[in-house]
Homo-oligomer: A and B are copies of this chain.
Amino acid sequence: MAITYELLHTCKQTGARYGILHTPHGDFETPIFMPVGTKATVKTLENQEIKEVSDGLILGNTYHLWLEPGDDIVQLHGGIRGFSKWDGALLTDSGGFQVFSLSDIRKITEEGVEFRHHKSGAKLFMSPEDSIRIQHNLGADIIMSFDECPPFDSPYDYMKQSIDRTIRWAKRGLDAHNHPDTQALFGIVQGGPFIDLRTHCAEELINMDFPGYSIGGLSVGETKEEMYRVLDEVTPILPESKPRYLMGVGTPDDIIEGVIRGIDMFDCVNPTRMARHGSAMTSQGRIPIKNKIYEKDLSPLDTECDCKVCTTYTKSYLRHLFKSEEYLGPRLISYHNLYFLKNLMKNIRNAIQNDQLGDFKANFFSKYYK
C-alpha cells in the first residue's frame, strides 16, 4: 500500500478530523494544504522556499506536464521529483479537470476524450489508461482517476450518464494501475449538486476500495452554500479510515468549512495566483498591495505573521516592487501567501486536537472578514 491514513482525533466541537497521512516520501499531519506546482514548479519559488511554506506535499498537473515538456521528458529524469529536484511528496491530478476546463472543442466517448490543445489547437486524446500511464511517468505518491468534470449546473440526466462513465473509467484506471505499492490511486466522487448521484458514485468507488477519495466538481462556480451542502452529505459516506481530498479548494473560509465537514486534504492555485496580482492573504483579510495607501507604509504585510517577508520588508517596498513590475514582488507575496496557509493549517490542526475548532473559526473569521 503506497499510502495509509491514521485518524488520531475528532474535534468534539465540530467533528473535524486530525490524522496522519503516511506516504513513500514522508508522513503528513492532516488536514493539509498542498501548494500547486502546475508545470513542475510552484510559480516563482525554489525548492528550499517551497519546503519553508508547505508541509512537504505538493501538487503537479498531469495535463500541463503531458503537453509541456511531455511526460516522456519528465520520466527521463525519473519523474517530477527528478525533474524539478523536489524531494518531498507529490500528488498529481488526472488531467480530467483541465481537459474539460481548458479545451473548448471535445468529444467524449466511452473510450476517452478527444479535444484540442488549449494553445496550438492540435487534436489530442486522453483515455483513463492514458492518464494512469502518464501519471506513472510523472511518479507522484498519490495519483487520481481520470474523471469527467461536468459543469455544476448540468442537467440531471447528463450528470447521471457522466458519473456512470466516471465510475467505469475509475475501474479502468484501477485495472491499468500497476504501481499500487508506490503510487496511491484515489477515486474521484462527482455528481454535481445531486446528492443521490454523489452517493451512488461514492458507493461504487468505495466498492473498488481505493486508498483515498477525492471530491471533484466543487469550487467550479457554484455558491459556497451549495458546496457546503454537498460536503455535508458526501463526506459522511466516505470510509473513516481513508483520506478525503477536496480538489481545487483553497480560500481560508472554504478550507475551514471543508475541515469541519471531514475533509483532510486541499489544494488550490489561489494563493500563488493572487500573489502574482499583488493580493496578499493576511490575518486581517486581503491586502491589495498596489493600492496607493501603502505607498509610505513602513509596516509589514501582516504583523501576526513570522514569515521572512513579514519580518523583513515593508508594505511600501512590496508595493514598489509591484508598481515597478519587478519579479521579486510576485515571488515575495507567493511566499507569504503560502506561508499564511501553512500557518492556518497548523492552527486548524491544533484547534482540532484541542476540540476548539469552532472557537478558532469564529475568531479567525472575525478578523479575516471584518
Q: Which residues on B sit within 8 Å (CB–CB) of A43?
A: 326-328
With A41-B326, A312-B85 in contact, is A73–B331 under 8 Å at CB? no
Would you give the 0/1 interface string for A252-276, flagging 1 where the beta carbon is closer than 8 Å to chain B?
0000000000000000000000000
Using known A-B contacts A84-B317, A85-B312, determine if residue A73 contacts B295 with beta carbons closer than 8 Å: yes
- Interface residues of A, CB < 8 Å — how many? 35
A73 to B314, CA, bound (A): 11
Smallest beta-carbon distance A143→chain B, Å: 21
Majority DSSP secondary structure for residues of A touching B:
loop
Q: Which residue of B lies closest to A313 (CB)?
A: B85
Kindly list 18 other residue pairs between chains A and B, CB separation below 8 angstroms, not including A76-B296, A83-B314: A39-B326, A40-B317, A41-B324, A41-B326, A43-B328, A44-B331, A46-B328, A64-B324, A68-B324, A69-B316, A69-B320, A69-B323, A73-B295, A73-B296, A73-B320, A77-B314, A77-B317, A85-B313
A298, CB-defined interface residue at 8 Å: yes
Query: What are the residues of chain B within 8 A of A220 when measuring CB–CB?
Result: none
Q: Assuming the A-B contacts A76-B296, A298-B76, A298-B77, are A68 and B320 also in contact, with contact meaning beta carbons closer than 8 angstroms in the complex?
A: yes
Q: Shortest distance in angstroms between A108's beta carbon and chain B's nearest beta carbon? A: 28
Question: A45's contact among B85, B312, B313, B328, by CB below 8 Å, is which?
Answer: B328
Shortest C-beta distance, A335 to chain B (Å), equals: 9
| Inter-chain contacts of A313 with B (CB < 8 A) | 85
Asked whether A79 is an interface residue with its Cβ less than 8 Å from the other chain, the reply is no
Across-interface contacts of A19 in B (CB, < 8 A): none
Kindly identify, within residues 314 to 354 of chain A, every residue whose CB is under 8 Å from any CB belonging to chain B: 314, 316-317, 319-321, 323-324, 326-328, 330-332
Report whether A39 and B327 are in contact in the complex, using a CB–CB cutoff of 8 Å: no
